[in-house]
Chains A and B, each alone.
Chain A
């Protein structure tokens, strides 16, 4: 059966994407998971994987085109299969399960970590003819096939949300203005990206609230204009709608959070072990003070520990690796992911310092500072976050003494850093380093040896210079 290739919804506010390039020529065969095309949304470029095996055919969108979310872009055909009669606007019969059809419409969640949300819309959402409508419509097509009142569509557009995410309570599941207001009232404040140790993910582009084009009412002969200016309909409610009756409590996760949840679940499926070592930071503190007193670049403890970890990984390359369950890839380069908290509880991102092993302490401090600034400004690209080989997460600034970081799969090791503190007045400064590793590919001894080496480097940090 032909698989439809459609513009995926890569962020909660995404209405359309710009096709940067096809990574596969028409007629070429791809396997499910191969990178099929690159999409540029407001600020972020992303690779989209093939939703199925097949030959790329019926390409109707060209590089540089803006494509509404959900619009048909091409088909993946089996050998010898003919193109569906797309001119009739009939999408293929949904003989596959609904979940599979969603997959076909979505990007591969594995790489983007921002999968298409499970649509809460009723079955009409995939009504015949919807594809044609989407392909034909240049705007608002993210809601094609979803029954909604014009007022609900306007409110959704103004709020930058997708009707797919809203449960319609009107006749036939129609989304009504009240449903949008209820959704907005219950929506979690978070709009942003991945959590601690989440896989590389896009930051969410700000909502582009297209103002509805005001068309003058058609004036019959000489209609009077003396009537008052139109009043807006009710603003979104700020609290839960009272008396929502038998509706179940709580709200579904927003797509980004759901992506994080899925990623965490995948991580939790990995047999992982965390071990903790307490490291004397007296010398490291002294070194840091000396550098910061004399150099232009300010060096943080995180920079010192990252530098030390990079040095230790050179000695223990087995921890600088990726494992997808079948193949273990020892990474030649140390691309170190650094968890960065976003402002206003918008989550965490894990941008990657490239080739951290080749950077001096000050270079690493500069690179990290740049990533942190851009993370907080929301200007990271997916490339900034893709392809890490090891991750470091520091909760020390919150006073956390030690913790149990989850693996950032498919990486095989993550280092958690606790607070740098003196356990008693006058005692030397120390820090808890918490190493989590994938016990499928690593055993306790080499991991512990890595941790021991790391501790030694930090205890005598001049070797890091």
Chain B
């Protein structure tokens, strides 16, 4: 029993060390000669544009459902006029970045984990390495940067579509005009609602890319490890997003809202 615990603790510290080395080699390789611009653009397309549909649908449904769920409660207090304010603030500050990033963790981190895991198992990464090419620069730097750039953009799209979903929800319940709804939504938003959320979604994007690449590179020989890489990438990225969000909320409360 004691030996098992010791071994697990040793493995944990070894894994932390490996992750630190991996993130170090990512930053070192960003600034090396021969940056893979074409691959970065291709990854931005694959990660950004190919995830847009699912993000838009989720965003729309989020706004719609949030409105329908909160409307009856607010009506009891005669505060249904505040639905647009409530929806826009909660979407922009919290729900938009977190839910969109969790969706991206499911779609993107698993995809990267499975792709790189499969390349590792079939010796493609070894082939790049022994040929004298740089697999970190070609595979890792491009994917992590693409996630870091594209996830915040996807969050912005999801936020916008959520407002539309909120309006559709309000109008279904016989609410207000579009002009009034959007005017109320935007009037309640200030820069401090938008900016910290945007910054944290950059970190969420980095986390999704990093975890996907790390899990893929860590896959050992065998097809089973490809599935494990994909699965553990989603789990680890999701957990990290939630932890980072908790930290970001605390920091925002202290530094932005001075609470």
The answer to whether A and B assemble together is no
Q: Which of A's residues lie within 8 Å of B, judged by CB?
A: none
